Amino acid sequence: MNGQTFDLSGKDYFTEQEAANYCCLSKSHFRELIKTSDLQPGRLGRRNIYRRADLKRFLERTAWQLSNGANTNGSPARRREQPTLIGAREADSAARA
């Protein structure tokens, strides 16, 4: 974040930047997560606003999904296969087989 401090105590509605700060995310990462979630902002003029209660539910659901191996959109997270490291002897015997 850009060094700004936000006093969010007592607020029930947040701007996009405040919502990102509340979630401990950068604004760009917050926007990416919102694209794949069901969290919908309200509108106040041209601004998107987010309710504290909605953000809290979003964080609880997202944290639970990530801790259980799912992406934020509910699909299972893909794990990358780790390369198998073998020694020189194992490589020689595998090549002969």
Domain extent listing, the chain: 1-76
Question: What span, in angstroms and rounded, lies between the C-alpha atoms of 74 and 43?
Answer: 26
Question: What span, in angstroms and rounded, lies between the C-alpha atoms of 41 and 57?
Answer: 14
pLDDT per residue over 5-63, tens digit each? 777 778 899 999 999 999 989 999 999 988 888 888 999 899 999 999 999 998 888 77
* Helix (H/G/I), strand (E/B), else coil: 88: helix
Q: Name the CATH architecture for the domain at 1-76.
A: Orthogonal Bundle (1.10)
> Partners of 14 in the beta sheet?
50
Instruction: Count Cβ neighbours within 10 Å for each residue of 40-52 and write b for 16 or more, e otherwise.
Output: ebeeeeeeebbeb
Residue 33 has what pLDDT?
Answer: 87
Question: What span, in angstroms and rounded, lies between the C-alpha atoms of 73 and 9?
Answer: 29
